[in-house]
Amino acid sequence: MNLNQLLKELVSTGWEFWKEENQLYYDAPSEQLTSEVLTKLKTHKASIIKLLQEEPDIFKVYPFSHEINTDQLQTRNDSEVSLITLPKIIPAPKEKFQPFPLTDIQQAYWLGRNQNFDLGNIATHNYIEIDCSNLD
């Protein structure tokens, strides 16, 4: 089992990892603390620490607990994983009032207000129903 598979398995079952100084710490469900898993962690300990040094919030940025996207992790070799670099956001304060394209949902909200469409001329709205006893 390589590091990517190990992290996917552990984090998806509730494990949390963090690093303080040069020590690896984890919090895990007690029923999963088996000698086999601890041996695997010891094998990959240096790589996990290195990964946390490079990207301290990697387990917060990518919600592994739902579904790990292995495309975002690039295996350098069997025991080492690194994060693929995401594009940098560059602030452009002089252009902050310039027009920009709407997202699909923004465009749908905007066009839905138009009376020229079937079922149009309606703003977005929410409806919530709460069932409770002894409210008044």
pTM: 0.43
**Model confidence band, residue 69 (pLDDT cutoffs 50, 70, 90):** very low
**Model confidence band, residue 116 (pLDDT cutoffs 50, 70, 90):** confident
pLDDT > 90 in the chain, percent: 1
pLDDT of residue 25 exceeding 50, the answer is yes
Specify the pLDDT at position 59.
65
Tell me the residue range of the domain where 27 lies.
3-83
Average pLDDT over residues 13-23: 83
Assess contact for 52 and 24: CB atoms under 8 A. yes
pLDDT of residue 67 exceeding 80, the answer is no
In a domain, 9, yes or no: yes
Report the domain count for the chain: 1
**Model confidence band, residue 58 (pLDDT cutoffs 50, 70, 90):** low
In a domain, 15, yes or no: yes
Specify the pLDDT at position 62.
47
In a domain, 116, yes or no: no
E-strand ranges in 60-130 read 73-77, 80-83
Specify the pLDDT at position 70.
45
In a domain, 88, yes or no: no
As given in the structure block, the two tokens for residue 74 are 């690039």
CA distance 58 to 19: 12
In a domain, 42, yes or no: yes
41-49: Cβ within 8 A, 24+ apart: 41/6, 43/79, 44/3, 44/6, 44/79, 47/3, 47/79, 47/80, 47/81, 48/3, 48/7, 48/17, 48/24, 49/19, 49/22, 49/23, 49/24
In a domain, 22, yes or no: yes
83-98 pLDDT per residue, tens: 455 667 788 888 889 8
